[in-house]
Chains A and B, each alone.
Chain A
């Protein structure tokens, strides 16, 4: 669906192409793992994608591993030394290299599909629960993992696994029973059978979806009958049972201090249990269900417990971080609920001259041409289309790996995309009304996989950031490529580059690493130019202005910097902003800025957007302070000229188009806004549990 509307944007009137035909459906979350040392969250999705969120940096997604068709990840865990492992139904244990952003190796578990995996409290052993009922212990050595021994084989498939905090025993949950195994000898010390008379259908067996082992010997189990049960592993008896719902309770996570735990159900509710002292002297304590939270519509497949927050993720692809009020030190905006649904990276590229949009899906690329209108209208009008938007091309990926990044050249004649191991480049031809595509097969050897791809403004050069940290500059000729230069990483570490930006005149290239600063390269002389001073929050968007060659950087804590490349220092305006400070409402936004662009005729304007707003920063106007309202565009429009002159400030924000996935300036008077309403996403999700509401 596309409509063209007229909107007045501060100083300027634009025709806006509202694009709603990007059929983006985020993939459901399968596992969530929290790392205490680095305060990072690893999230794995159903298609095998693994994302790392930095919870300290405003929960920004800083690292991303594209998925693979063969991987059906069922478990994710952190081991000693910040190492990330995942295991899935294809039977392999995979280690991820967080520096080089690739898969280090995969080891076969030899037990069939792996259902669960947990690292022992010291982080030097990994236990996996397999389809054939065996629990295998792997030793984590500095460069590999090795099978050490197999514990006593159980009867059914091992669906959940938990280590005792001392590392001596392992509790496993299977179908209809829970067993406690001794890690040293491998024998079963205790077996607890589930009650067959549970409520619900008698024919289905009771599946233990989650277990947790506490240090006092209590085993907590969550099962498909909707109950959370506390067992004593010494005697093998049931101590407490909490029937929560009639549907399954799918996941459980315990805090490090073992005084609170969180469970997630198939109805989308998460329940918080706390250990409350039952006597006044605090000698005896009991587990009590305290708070339910309903932030999901579909099954909550995985939960995690950080020291201050409950983290949950499920089939509806929301990642919800719910800080606990009693654990939060300062009651400011940080204690608010965070719900991450939309991507923190740009998935859309735009060929401005040809009015083409390239949409990146995990398994294909789609090329669309925007519609056109001949009518003109006043403010807030919806203009009729004379030509509809056209779906020109669908490019399916080759091989089992998902697409990592993609780009279209500004003239629209080159499309490039990359998976984790291969690079693909296509030449496009538009004649009359048809599109023809031809693959460029003779690619140089070093172009194996890219983390970022960018074309120059005149579509003559291709810049590829590989995941070893090196940056390749390639010249595009009519039928072939010519490798001009490769920039090695400046800082000395081989760290992957997350963002690229090129100046419109083609002389400067800026590359942002994942934790190092932004490096700037001189393309005319093919030499490194300088490095922007490091900032402790990751970069979310990068762009170089025309003519002035000012680099505008947006960070995940919502700070915006402007760096002058020819002068190798921050601009005066940027220093002014830093001294004045940004408005508190600007800093409290919880989605990162993903795209920055500029107006060709107005050098003082910077256009940027995040998921819920679109802003034009006018550098010539005064900066707002905390007392003036930030979102005053609508009110100023009605006001008189005097009032407008007094109250207008530099940040002109519009919240008309929400949720925004992409916004760009096509030419002087036209904007394109790609929206993705949440209802359209929900309509394509798997079926949820039936809920009964009073009065319906």
Chain B
């Protein structure tokens, strides 16, 4: 047996209602006795304030309607939340901005240190223009000799240098060459690649020879590149042997 606490809220409501309406006599008698009892039991607080307090106390049962919150207060609360959020975001952004600024400054400083002094830069911009394009491609090809020669010539004849210069980035040059190589690779693959039905020139020309009455040998009958390494080694050995023999014959033979 559970000892349930009496539900005061239930009792108070119907009493008020009946009193307002002016209901039956039976109810009124009972109600009056209940009222008295109630007064004794609950000396303090009016019935109006009681429901809120009661709700807070028993959270198990909530048949009541949710608490009444005015629109103004709710709006104010929501605005408050938004403002707090915005402030937080702004603070974060500013922190990031600061970080970035500091990094940029660091980079520009480093760059300044890397660049040539301002005087030389001025000289370059005022000097005549030349075509650096050619020299860059030559550099890439590894034709250092030619570049040195050009430089030498330019040093010896400064009067001659009135050409126009066009600077270009070596990185861009790499990109252009890569694309060109890719294009050439495509052409090679589709014309001479795996699926193409190609044969050697030797075999192609020997088709004619096969149908002749008197069969002739192939056009490139001798493969000159056969045994290349061995032949080269033999040549080297022969040179060394002859040299040794020469030295031996020069030395006086002491018998």
Contact of B204 (CB < 8 Å), options: A266, A399, A688: A688
Nearest CB in chain B: distance from A86 CB, A: 15
Q: Quick check: A131 and B179 within 8 Å, CB to CB? A: yes
Among B137, B196, B202, B220, max chain A CB count under 10 A is at: B196
Interface string of A674-696 (1 = CB under 8 A from B): 00000100111111111101011
A89 touches B (CB below 8 Å): yes
Q: Once the chains are docked, how many angstroms separate the CA of A299 from the CA of B196?
A: 12
**Interfacial chain A residues near B180, Cβ < 8 Å:** 72, 89-91, 113
Contact (A687, B205) CB under 8 Å given A113-B183, A695-B210 = no
B138 touches A (CB below 8 Å): yes
Number of A-B residue pairs with CB-CB distance less than 8 Å in the complex they form: 91
Binds A, one of B10-18, B62-70, B109-117, B185-193: B185-193
Contact (A399, B201) CB under 8 Å given A90-B176, A207-B190 = no
**Interfacial chain A residues near B186, Cβ < 8 Å:** 157
Contact (A688, B198) CB under 8 Å given A266-B191, A297-B204 = yes
Interface string of A411-441 (1 = CB under 8 A from B): 0000000000000000000000000000001
Q: Which B94-141 residues have C-beta < 8 A from chain A?
A: 134, 137-138
A207, closest chain B residue (CB):
B190
Q: Quick check: B196 and A247 within 8 Å, CB to CB? A: yes
Q: Which A64-90 residues have C-beta < 8 A from chain B?
A: 70, 72, 89-90
**Interfacial chain A residues near B199, Cβ < 8 Å:** 687-690
**Interfacial chain B residues near A659, Cβ < 8 Å:** none
Interface string of B150-192 (1 = CB under 8 A from A): 0001000000100000000000000010011011101000111
Q: Once the chains are docked, how many angstroms separate the CA of A688 from the CA of B202?
A: 10
Among A89, A115, A682, A686, max chain B CB count under 10 A is at: A89
A525 touches B (CB below 8 Å): no
Contact of B197 (CB < 8 Å), options: A91, A246, A400: A246
Contact (A682, B205) CB under 8 Å given A445-B160, A687-B192, A696-B210 = yes
Q: Once the chains are docked, how many angstroms separate the CA of A682 from the CA of B203?
A: 12
B197, closest chain A residue (CB):
A690
Interface string of A84-101 (1 = CB under 8 A from B): 000001110000000000
Q: Quick check: B191 and A695 within 8 Å, CB to CB? A: no
A167 touches B (CB below 8 Å): no
For chain B, what secondary structure do more than half of its interface residues adopt (helix, strand, loop), or is it mixed? helix
B211 touches A (CB below 8 Å): yes
Contact of B137 (CB < 8 Å), options: A70, A299, A695: A70
Contact (A689, B190) CB under 8 Å given A90-B176, A297-B204, A399-B146 = no
Nearest CB in chain A: distance from B194 CB, A: 8
Among B186, B192, B200, max chain A CB count under 10 A is at: B186
Q: Once the chains are docked, how many angstroms separate the CA of A248 from the CA of B134?
A: 38
Q: Quick check: B191 and A299 within 8 Å, CB to CB? A: yes
Nearest CB in chain B: distance from A166 CB, A: 32
Contact of B138 (CB < 8 Å), options: A112, A399, A687, A691: A399
B227 touches A (CB below 8 Å): no
Binds B, one of A198-206, A271-279, A533-541, A621-629: A198-206
Contact (A685, B137) CB under 8 Å given A89-B184, A441-B153, A696-B211 = no
Measured as residues with beta carbon below 8 angstroms from the partner, the interface class of chain B is 20 to 34
A398 touches B (CB below 8 Å): yes
Nearest CB in chain B: distance from A367 CB, A: 20
Q: Quick check: A683 and B196 within 8 Å, CB to CB? A: no
Q: Which B200-231 residues have C-beta < 8 A from chain A?
A: 200-205, 207, 210-211, 219-220
B22 touches A (CB below 8 Å): no
Q: Quick check: A693 and B198 within 8 Å, CB to CB? A: no
Q: Quick check: A693 and B211 within 8 Å, CB to CB? A: yes
B195 touches A (CB below 8 Å): yes
**Interfacial chain B residues near A247, Cβ < 8 Å:** 196-197
Q: Quick check: A687 and B198 within 8 Å, CB to CB? A: yes
Nearest CB in chain B: distance from A375 CB, A: 28
Q: Which B1-55 residues have C-beta < 8 A from chain A?
A: none
Nearest CB in chain B: distance from A399 CB, A: 7
Q: Once the chains are docked, how many angstroms separate the CA of A102 from the CA of B126?
A: 31
**Interfacial chain B residues near A696, Cβ < 8 Å:** 207, 210-211
Contact (A691, B211) CB under 8 Å given A113-B183, A157-B186 = no
Q: Quick check: A691 and B190 within 8 Å, CB to CB? A: no
Contact (A91, B176) CB under 8 Å given A224-B190, A299-B191 = yes
Contact of A683 (CB < 8 Å), options: B137, B153, B184, B219: B219
Q: Quick check: A203 and B195 within 8 Å, CB to CB? A: yes
Q: Quick check: B195 and A682 within 8 Å, CB to CB? A: no
Contact of B201 (CB < 8 Å), options: A89, A204, A400, A685: A685
Nearest CB in chain B: distance from A484 CB, A: 21
Nearest CB in chain A: distance from B225 CB, A: 14
A688, closest chain B residue (CB):
B204
Q: Once the chains are docked, how many angstroms separate the CA of A224 from the CA of B191?
A: 9
Nearest CB in chain B: distance from A132 CB, A: 9
Q: Quick check: A131 and B219 within 8 Å, CB to CB? A: no
**Interfacial chain B residues near A686, Cβ < 8 Å:** 192
Nearest CB in chain B: distance from A226 CB, A: 11
Q: Once the chains are docked, how many angstroms separate the CA of A682 from the CA of B201?
A: 7
**Interfacial chain A residues near B137, Cβ < 8 Å:** 70, 400
Nearest CB in chain B: distance from A452 CB, A: 25
Q: Quick check: B205 and A399 within 8 Å, CB to CB? A: no
Q: Once the chains are docked, how many angstroms separate the CA of A297 from the CA of B201?
A: 10
**Interfacial chain A residues near B196, Cβ < 8 Å:** 247-248, 266, 689
Q: Once the chains are docked, how many angstroms separate the CA of A203 from the CA of B207?
A: 30
**Interfacial chain B residues near A203, Cβ < 8 Å:** 195
A687, closest chain B residue (CB):
B198
Contact (A683, B183) CB under 8 Å given A70-B137, A693-B207 = no
**Interfacial chain A residues near B138, Cβ < 8 Å:** 399
Q: Once the chains are docked, how many angstroms separate the CA of A187 from the CA of B184?
A: 29
Q: Quick check: B201 and A683 within 8 Å, CB to CB? A: yes
Q: Once the chains are docked, how many angstroms separate the CA of A398 from the CA of B143?
A: 9
Known contacts A89-B183, A131-B183, A683-B219; 14 further A-B pairs (Cβ under 8 A): A72-B180, A72-B184, A90-B176, A157-B183, A157-B186, A247-B196, A299-B191, A399-B134, A400-B134, A684-B201, A691-B207, A693-B207, A693-B211, A696-B207
List A residues at the B interface (Cβ < 8 Å): 70, 72, 89-91, 112-113, 115, 131, 157, 200-201, 203-204, 207, 224, 246-248, 266, 297, 299, 398-400, 441, 445, 679, 682-691, 693, 695-696
Closest 5 CB pairs of A and B: A113-B183, A690-B199, A687-B198, A696-B210, A201-B195
